[in-house]
Amino acid sequence: MASIFAKIVAGDIPSYKIYEDEKTYAFLDIHPEVRGHVLVIPKIEVDKIYELPDEDYVALWQSVKKIAKHMEEVLGARVIMKVVGTDVPHAHVHLTPLDENWEYGKTLELSEAEFKEIQEKLAM
């Protein structure tokens, strides 16, 4: 059964896309820890990052690097990269800008307008 992320890549579920290339897709987390919380995923569905074929593993980290640098330039904040790997059975990397209001385990409720504003700011 396809994960929610595979359904996002297929276009079956909408997302606030930030970046896409041949092998990766990046979008805003709908349960963000901070404004600008982005998820970067490989387009192929595997549960764990270390299960990715080498080519897709490298492509994922190249996209993470490119997006994190862009986020730092646009937002003016250092970006934290996290691989948790337990919340969705599809490999992914969390990119979260450092925010003085961040609290572990806390998520924000954002309006559609707020999501679209952040998407426009971060889109590549």
Q: Which residues are catalytic?
A: 92
Rounded Cα distance between 49 and 111, Å, is 31
- Percentages (nearest 5) of helix, strand, coil residues in the chain: 35, 20, 45
Tell me how many degrees the CA angle 57-121-71 measures, rounded to the nearest 5: 40
